[in-house]
Structure 1
Amino acid sequence: MLSIIVALLVNLLIETSVSFSVVVPGDPVVAHVGSTVILPCWINPPENAEALEIRWYRKEFSNTFLHYKPGKVPDMPVEPYRNRTSLTPRSDQSGGLKDGDVSLRLEKLRVQDEGSFRCYVSGESSYDSEEVDLKVTALGSTPVLFLKFLDDGRVNISCKSSGWHPKPSVTWMSDERRVLHPGGVFYSREAHEMFSVHSWTAVSRSDAQLVSCSLSLKTGELKDGRMDIQGIVSSDSSGPWKALFFTLFIFALLGFGLVGFFLYKCRPGKKPDKEIVGDVNIEEPRKHAVEITVDREHLHPDLMVTKNCKIMRDGPGYDHTGEGFPYELCAFGAQRFTSGRHYWEVKLTQENTPPKNYWLIGVVKHGNFTVRDRSALTPSSGYWFLCSDGPNGFHTNTDPPVKLSLTPRPERLGVLLDYEEGQLSFYNIKESKHLLTISTRFSGTVVPLFNPGAGDQSPLIILDCTKPVKSAEESSQPLLSNNSSNA
């Protein structure tokens, strides 16, 4: 009789201490940047998980970002998961916690979220945990193709795109579906850990047809850009005349005002009220004046900016070797433009100090916040600017670049963005001179671009042109602070 009782108690103990296991998918979960994803996790055999402790963490137990305990208010998730995570059923057929479903909902997905997430469940007599792998993808922009004629009779085609994760594969093809060999593929890191891509190939002019550049991810998602090379080659039959016009145009930009003025005046269908070079009435562009401030969120860490976000210079800790222009010291306007005309002015000197030797001023396509060197700052990449590089003179970033001899050195520069006309114009305010107009085609959103250079006594000052300019405008300015200061 006693042995029967003992056997019953043992069986009862075994039944009440049956352990559970945590189950997760065997394959990684794949989702896009910015989307909401469910990381499935459930316990087996199913039981009500409302009475269990649940944790989601990464790498280490101490890095728990979601913690559920029965009868207690859930802890506030730590950054960067605050307001982004919650426990949620993995499907419409799931009963949630009551059925042992402890899946994680993760919103506003970022590239940095990629990796392993551990699901941990604990009861009074059992616990278990498993990892869910998350792969994050980002489908970048549609590739943009650019063409350049080579001296050997071939055509070089460049393909550029941005906003990819992970690195996409690049495939060049002709219209006969013949794979073309790329001349090279270059990847660079953007903001938020995404990739930009630059590839190029060369084809014979006689064989040139429709050429496509396709960028694809392992998921099978892709984007491609195409260019009718044959049509462009055929339209280039006016070579000598185009070369002459281009030469004259460059001469105009370099200061041959009479030639530029004549060509511009004689173009049919154009109003003769916009001179390429020469004296201008500065009050005309000022009719389109807007207030410009610096975007602190995307400011280079080695720049110092005033609290009013209008004055900037290189910081005392910036280690500049003095070799080449410091292209990385860029600041970006907080104002965004997708249409219309917009004008602003920048002061390049202070009282009793010589004009700045180093500066870069223009516009940039919104989102291009990572700057490394001059080779990446091209119009095809979304940059348009005029640069003063000390003894190396003034130049644009156009292809080919335009070098200018500006005398006297500008003390106050005016910038006019005409979005629809695709023009970016620069003015020497003190001399009432139009210096240069860059012609292009803008797309998407563009913002002002500034770089104060390094080593000058004077800072770069964004002026407020919406009000009358006062003679002592900058006589009293807030103290400079680093980019972590509050506005």
Structure 2
Amino acid sequence: MLGDLGWPEAFLVKHETAQVVAKKLLEDILPSSEDMENCCKNSLLSQLTCLFVLEQLLTCVSTREFTVSGPSDPIVVAPGGEAVLPCFLSPARSVENVEELRWFRNRFSEAVFVYRNQQEQKEEQRAEYAGRTCLVKDQFHEGKAAVHIRNVQESDSGIYVCFFKQGVFYDEAILELKVAAMGSVPEVHIQGPEDGGVCVVCRASGWYPKPQVQWRDSRGETLPASSETHTEDAEGVFSMESSLVVRDSSLGNVTCSAFNPILDQEKAMSMVIPERHARLQLRQEREKLLCELEESQEDILKSTSTLQEELDRRKAAYMAAWRKAQLYADWRKEHFQAWSVTLDPDSAHPLLAISQDRVHVTLMDTTMCLDGLFCVLGMEGISSGRCYWEVKIKNGDSSKWILGACREDVDRKGLYFESPDKGFWTVGRSSSGYWAYINTGRASLSFRQTPQSVGVFVDYSEGDISFYNMSDLSHIFSFHEASFSGTLHPYLRIKSGTVWMILSSIAQGCDGEKWEERRSSKGRSGKRRKNGKKSFLFPLKQSLNSPGEGLTPGSKGVHSPPGEASPFLPHPVTLDSHSADTVSKLSV
């Protein structure tokens, strides 16, 4: 109850001791509890008399005939060691016939050791001290007694009370036991060069609890350790090792200290770093690094030579049978002529927007949920030789599109499916992945890297069309032994989404012909323009609206991809009456 009021621990111990002693005296002197009850219930006067008697008894047991004292400093013992807790009578006299000796901690009744009537009383001993304590009697005649605790544990640390009682007289002393160990003085030595400096190592052992390790320079400023490890033995005692890399030789010396937080004590050792030694170590380190660098360069040269030999071997094998090889698009270019191709606006669906330079194409209105046949052909046709062109794709991984080549006479009216037997050799992307469109349906495609540009290689004489991912130059798919009859044209189709398809600008045409010559020989009219169509010129919409916003079907004017100047300028568009009506219905 007094503990709840915040009384000091020493006072509480003394108060509890007085209560216990008074209780025993009352049992010996006063009548029985029944007689006391009969005596005290007669009148108020008799109750006051009982209280007065109790007060006198407490005063009596407080009168001291002797005093008990103990060591003023804490008793320090390492884990697993042995502790001796001594007490002394003053004035000095033999304690052989003392009625009771008791060592306890928090509660009087929970004893560490009890010696009463010249015998040890084990029934009152706390369980954790059983078998670990004994009484030291060799100085009883001098008024000294001590309890010996073996195999000291961390839980033994704290306050102990030594209690002596003889008749109605008693006294007690308070002792403190600390479970701690000041280990060895740190040993410091130079280990050698490391990480552009000199590595200094500090070791110490026999510490408890785990010590706090610190490095300091000659000015007392803390230096950061490069590593620190602690190990604990079976007794719970710690050993430590800490290292420091000194890169500044002007420090002069460094100090390693180990601090015990329980005892508030430290041990330290300093090490002088000779400037000459530091320079020598740094020079050795530089020489070692240079040697390792030379060895690395030799290894790199050997590896490069080996890789070059393997590359030459593969290229030689490829050159021997390049038509069947499916790797290295840059090697394949050596056998094909880069071909400059532009888009034919007359072949474009009305909902497609073509740039003025005729190399960009996208959907005019990307907000419509359509999956239509919005396609356009290349202006220039292929009827012989080996040619290739590239198509850059923006936003292709979130849209549906198809690209490749087709015969000039394919039927693109109504609904159709691209396949070789219908004159289409294509690859593309749908909502379920990437595909090559073959006669039996679709063949799934996989990529190491999402294609941002696709190369189309046409070998007309061999009947071969191959597709390459120009982002990592890997092979995508090939159509072999295709049956070409007539002229082939590049084919681009946008099914849905915000994709932009851009034909790369390449100056030279197929088989070395300049594309301007091929274009002039073909003429601007082209075969695919039908009678009954008219060309219209629509102005470019210059606003900050989103792509396609504010445009009418067939206007061919859209915004450019993000970060680019708009390539779309007015150019003629052909609409017949049927197409215009269809576009009006789609826009609604």
Is the pair's TM-score, using the shorter chain for normalization, greater than 0.5? no
> Quick one: higher RCO (CA 8 Å, sep 6+), 1 or 2?
1
Compare the two structures and name the one with the higher helix fraction: 2
Q: Which is greater in Rg? A: 2
